Structure 1
Amino acid sequence: MRLVDESLFTETPEGLALLGSRCADCEAHTFPRQSGCPRCTGSVLADVPLARTGVLWSWTVQGFRPKPPYTGSEAYEPYGVGYVELPGQLIVETRLVESDPGKLRIGMPVELAFVPFRDDDQGQVHTFAFVEAAHG
């Protein structure tokens, strides 16, 4: 699977995870990784895999094509966008696999997934999204 940006991910025993950073001084997490802490301005940050599961904190549906470089494939369809709380870490902005407002609810358990984003001369490129957890 080809990914939109390999530097955003890391391999874990459970599969691919988002790669964030954690400040050695205040323990704040960031995504994507950063070299300086936005909370305390500390400069010692370690790479950490982020949780693959969380809860939907807020959401909306993207009903119009975003501006480049976020346009994705030629065939545009509305998609869910949300904030997912990764327990003990942070809240990450993300695509959602579901776009039907009737099926999205704040607090629903979600898990990391990978979805087609666009095609290029080497084939399909995937990005991350969150989907309702199987046990949700």
Structure 2
Amino acid sequence: MTDQVPLAEGLFTWPSEDPALLGGLASDGTLVFPYRPYKLVGGVREELEKVELPRRGTLWTFTTQRFRPPSPPYAGDDDADSFEPFAVGYVELPGALRVEARLTEPDPAKLRIGQEMELRIVPFGTDATGNQTVLYAFAPVEEASDGTE
């Protein structure tokens, strides 16, 4: 069995049963994602506090990627023939910021602006050492037939 490793370090808590994206919090209350150690605040370089961002948010906007992006930078295991379209969007995290992310639901007919979304960690490809890479994505929160979760 191969190990699962993040596509890039420092984007989310890993491994974790309840993963969270990692952002940076400045003294003026602003957040950045992905986390970085420093930011200019009022013209002064300030060290940021590493914080976990909310796991749930609402879909702010989205589109679909219907052709394979160029490599590099795209690092998927597919090729032009095996590529499967996917959705990408911005998810607004309450009290935080909007995050661009892949969406787990590729069918645009099943997505809607304002839809509740939840963070997931999903397989992506294979790295140079044979490990399975994983990345963050957002999945629609399933709604019960009566409109409640």
Q: Shared fold (TM-score greater than 0.5)?
A: yes
CA contact (8 A) 2:19 2:121 kept: no
Unaligned runs of 5+ residues in structure 1 are none
Q: Which residue of 2 aligns with 1:55?
A: 58
Q: Does 1:98 align with 2:109?
A: no
TM superposition score normalised by structure 1: 0.87
- Give the secondary structure class of the aligned counterpart of 1:131: strand
In the alignment, residue 109 of structure 1 is paired with which amino acid?
E
Q: Does 1:117 align with 2:120?
A: no
Q: Which residue of 1 aligns with 2:91?
A: 84
Which structure has the larger Rg over C-alpha atoms?
Answer: 2
CA distance in 2, matches of 1:110, 1:134: 9
CA distance in 2, matches of 1:119, 1:12: 17
Q: CA separation of 1:14/1:38 partners in 2, compared to 1, >3 Å: closer, same or farther?
A: farther
CA distance in 2, matches of 1:101, 1:38: 38
Q: Does 1:70 align with 2:74?
A: yes
TM superposition score normalised by structure 2: 0.80
Q: Does 1:107 align with 2:107?
A: no
Q: Does 1:23 align with 2:31?
A: no
Higher share of residues assigned strand: 1
- Give the secondary structure class of the aligned counterpart of 2:124: strand
**Identity fraction in percent:** 44
Cα offset, 1:111, TM superposition: 0.2
CA contact (8 A) 2:19 2:120 kept: no
Q: Which residue of 2 aligns with 1:128?
A: 136
- Give the secondary structure class of the aligned counterpart of 2:10: helix
Cα offset, 1:7, TM superposition: 1.3
Q: After TM superposition, where is structure 1 displaced by more than 4 Å over at least 4 residues in a row?
A: 11-14, 38-42
Unaligned runs of 5+ residues in structure 2 are 144-148
